[in-house]
Amino acid sequence: MTVPDVTEKYAAALNTVTIGATKEQGGTRAKTITVGGSAGLPWLRFEGRPGHPPVIAIEVWDTGAETWPDQLKEAYGPAMNGLADWCRKAVEFGADLICLKLMGTHPDAGNRSPEQAAESVRTCLEAVGVPLIVWGCGVYEKDNRVLPKCTEAAKGENCLFGTIVEKNYATLVAACLAGGHKIIAESPLDINIAKQVNILASDAGFPLQDIVMFPTTGALGYGLEYVYSIQERMRLAALGGDRQLQQPILCDVGMEAWRAKESKIPQKEAPTWGPAERRGPIWEAVTATNLLQSGGDILVMRHPEAIRMVRKTIERLTGA
Amino acid sequence: MYVIGERINGMFVDIKRAIQEKNEDPIRSWAERQIAAGADALDVNVGPATSKQTEALLWMTDIIRRVSADVPLAIDNAKWEVMQEVIPRVPGPKIINSSKADEEALQRYCALAAEHGCSLIALTIDARGVPADVDSRVMMGATIVTKALEAGLTPDRVFIDPIIIPINCAPKQPVAVMKALEQLKILSDPPPHLVLGLSNVSQGSAKRELINRTYMAMAIAAGLDSAIMDPCDKELMDTAITAEMLMEKMIYCDSYLEAYRANRRGTPA
């Protein structure tokens, strides 16, 4: 008896997005990164073209990382004290991209100026050759003054800038159009709003193909399943031809996983939980690998041990 | 929703005159407008304009093909002789509109569709006439699907029309058609398309647009996925898009109407 063929055929595929520009392309990156392009469900390679493998961006902050958990400070050592050294260390640990979060520009946490933020962007670009993600502090009024200075400082480098949201998108859209950059479109775990943000950006002149979606990330134990289901629904809608949901997906794994008490508290406070040095990276790695299964294309991560584990998983899944 | 634009039909005064006077402009203009409004296919029907039906159909399709080389054309004529002559001579994708459900007619029409790579609309009408109830519609639907599959037509090329009759002469029919749609939907996997000549439900009644819109939503809920309708009626199209959104055929967002239209056009929203 022949087994019937139950493979699905999909009407459409995901967009590809390229980040970074080499000298020939008007930038100074050693190479570019391309994500997306899958024509089927994640990892079901027998059903459709698999698309580009997921990539790992390592998260660095302009200032303020003293608040990071000890395990992370130990992993990076003194390199964490200077942005350029930190970027170089991240590339040593295998970063495909650097994700610079301008947390020091937050009004309550340093209130660094737009000029200082632009200087940090230049520092990262000069320190390493991998493509750059630049992420604001999340306070709209401040980001709207900071990010345009940064898009200008990085003009020609084709960075990925974030984020636009439903209530605040016009300034960053204009800045990225002028600077030739890609955009992260953020939504609060709401697929309807995710679609709407893409439409708003597109109505304002920003091409749908130049957007990366950030549906918000929740760590293991803190909403991971809901994020999984949203990413899964986005993928199914994309494959069904919904052009406002065909954008690759970014997951903010490191920040969320290291918020959890499970990654941080020392074993003496939770004896059955095992040593924190292993527990933290595992919490981050498991969050990441779950989101890989629901179609995460760019994983923003922190701990080198978690990154090593996830890299190995990606290699096994892609058959590399 | 697979929208078949109904406007190029000789029963409309301007089209009738255009056919009789050999004036290309109204044909061209309605082709452009219906495509721009989101029609997936265009119905082409001589109506009562002339008895030279083959010639008139070829003249109209030629004009439309100069507007678009690949919009599917639903060749709408009751006579086998005319259909047989016209189908091989019209370039590009075509839908045969239509065959009745008796086996002899289905044999001929399915073979013609298969031979020329066309889709086929088949009506649940046979030698006994227009169907009275749900069961006879479903039985004829089963015959249609069987004959089509035998002739090598895949379900996505088969459109079943369970015939909607005006509410003001057949009050039980709108409900009967909805029940028929629910059952016709499960005749095959994947299912055939289910289509209605939507404006028939309000033929001769008052409040035509309101009745058409409301029945559109009800029929979509019952399984309708195609209609011969006016794509330039924005409220009717909005109703169809909204009904499909509520049936989970697309993800909601605040600008869902705009998103649907942008997706169809292949352009940015």
CATH number of the CATH domain containing A65: 3.20.20.20
* pLDDT band for position A314 (cuts 50, 70, 90): very high
Tell me the per-residue pLDDT of B144-153, one tens digit each, with 9 for 90 and over.
999 999 999 9
Q: Which residues of B touch A191 (CB under 8 A)?
A: 251
Q: Is pLDDT at A5 greater than 90 in this prediction? A: no
Is A188 within a domain? yes
Is A146 within a domain? yes
pLDDT at residue A8 in the model: 86
Helices (H), chain A: 70-76, 83-92, 114-127, 140-153, 170-179, 191-203, 224-239, 253-257, 261-264, 276-293, 304-318
Q: Write the residue in A203, A208, A242 that is nearest to B251 by C-beta.
A: A242
Where is B41: in which H helix or E strand? strand B41-45
* pLDDT band for position B269 (cuts 50, 70, 90): very low
Is A198 within a domain? yes
> What number is the average pLDDT over the span A284-291?
98
Whether residue B252 lies within 8 A of chain A, CB to CB, comes out as yes
Q: How does the average pLDDT of chain B come out, rounded?
A: 95
Is A303 within a domain? yes
Is A218 within a domain? yes
Is A275 within a domain? yes
* pLDDT band for position B135 (cuts 50, 70, 90): very high
CA B99/CA B77 separation, integer angstroms? 9
Q: Is pLDDT at B268 greater than 50 in this prediction? A: no
- Do A292 and A317 contact (CB within 8 A), yes or no? yes
Q: Which of A8, A9, A195 to mutate to test the interface with B (most CBs of B within 10 A)?
A: A195
Q: Is pLDDT at A257 greater than 60 in this prediction? A: yes
Chains A & B: contacts with CB separation below 8 Å: 46
CB contact under 8 Å between B255 and A207, yes or no, is: no
Whether residue B154 lies within 8 A of chain A, CB to CB, comes out as no
Q: So what's the ipTM on this one?
A: 0.86
CA B242/CA B245 separation, integer angstroms? 5
Is A15 within a domain? no
| Tokens 């401040």 belong to residue | A142
Q: Write the residue in A191, A195, A233 that is nearest to B259 by C-beta.
A: A195
* pLDDT band for position B267 (cuts 50, 70, 90): very low
Is A44 within a domain? yes
Domain of residue A204, residue span: 20-318
Tell me the per-residue pLDDT of A181-214, one tens digit each, with 9 for 90 and over.
999 999 999 999 999 999 999 999 999 999 999 9
CATH code for the domain in which residue B28 is found = 3.20.20.20
Domain of residue B187, residue span: 2-265
Alpha-carbon torsion angle B230, B231, B232, B237, nearest 10: 110
Tell me the per-residue pLDDT of B73-104, one tens digit each, with 9 for 90 and over.
999 999 999 999 999 999 999 999 999 999 99
Q: How does the average pLDDT of chain A come out, rounded?
A: 96
- Report the number of secondary-structure helices (H) and strands (E) in chain A: 11, 10
Whether residue B258 lies within 8 A of chain A, CB to CB, comes out as yes
- φ/ψ of residue B267, rounded to 5: -120, 165
Vertex A132: Cα angle to A128 and A138 (nearest 5): 135
* Number of domains making up chain A: 1
pLDDT at residue A9 in the model: 85
pLDDT at residue B265 in the model: 66
Whether residue B247 lies within 8 A of chain A, CB to CB, comes out as no
> What number is the average pLDDT over the span A217-243?
96
